[in-house]
Chains A and B, each alone.
Chain A
């Protein structure tokens, strides 16, 4: 079982399609018996990456999400045709200071960094291409008991 498995979904960037894509990812996670933390991390990254396109990308944008799983890692690639935005190099915000001084929002890019093991950005495919990679433990692809 060393061959990678792949899935891909293309869609217009809308709230409804973002939700539908999240459910599609959940189905893959269940079918592939992915660890709960990996499934959650995929969902976090998906929402943040598509959310950026929804909020800042302009109207009538298209996107694709593809997932590739091999025994050791899961790679999720999100492409969109919005204006160039390098999420891998964008400033990361975490909360610090007081609630009074905190500006709501802007935490999404930090979550993508924190919940993935690697982020790669390039201008390719539809325009912006972001690949987030998650390391899989043995439980995702091997169910043999013990070590």
Chain B
């Protein structure tokens, strides 16, 4: 699992995840996600490169989104692959963390 964190000129932080967000993947990114969530207010988590996510990965996203929201900020998810999208929507995660189809709407959702 790879994690790449990029701060944009528009004040939006992009967290680009790549790989399997399984039990091993969660262990690999949790610390960095906590740092981002604790320090940034506009966060877009790019899921286009994530080919697996179960409840452990969802837990990581929920913890991060709550941390950002507690500071008055917003975290959104961007372009999950179809199976990951189905898992997120089946669980109802999309009702509390917005899922954006493209980066323009993702940036608008956090602004």
Residues of A within 8 A of B (CB): 15, 18-19, 22, 36-37, 40, 43-44, 47-48, 51, 54, 94-100, 102, 104-108, 110-111, 114-115
Name the residue on A nearest B63 (C-beta): A104
B62-80 to A contact mask, C-beta < 8 Å, 1/0: 1101100110000000000
**Among candidates A15, A96, A97, A111, residue contacting B55 with C-beta atoms closer than 8 Å:** A111
**Among candidates B23, B52, B66, B90, residue contacting A102 with C-beta atoms closer than 8 Å:** B66
Q: B58 — which chain A residues lie within 8 A by C-beta?
A: 107
User: What number of A-B contacts does a CB cutoff of 8 Å give?
Assistant: 81
Contact at A110–B54, with CB atoms within 8 Å?
no
Q: A104-B59, A111-B54 are in contact. Are A44 and B87 (CB under 8 A)?
A: yes
Q: A15-B27, A36-B83 are in contact. Are A99 and B96 (CB under 8 A)?
A: yes
Which residues of B in the span 1-31 have a Cβ within 8 Å of any Cβ on A? 20, 22-24, 27
Contact at B95–A95, with CB atoms within 8 Å?
yes
A45 to chain B, nearest CB (A): 9
B81 to chain A, nearest CB (A): 9
B33-64 to A contact mask, C-beta < 8 Å, 1/0: 00000000000000000001011101100110
B111 on interface, CB distance cutoff 8 Å:
no
- Other 19 A-B pairs with CB < 8 A, given A15-B23, A54-B23, A100-B66: A19-B22, A19-B24, A22-B22, A36-B83, A40-B52, A47-B22, A47-B55, A47-B56, A51-B55, A96-B95, A97-B96, A98-B96, A99-B66, A102-B66, A102-B96, A104-B59, A107-B59, A108-B55, A115-B90
Contact at A95–B54, with CB atoms within 8 Å?
no
Contact at A105–B55, with CB atoms within 8 Å?
yes
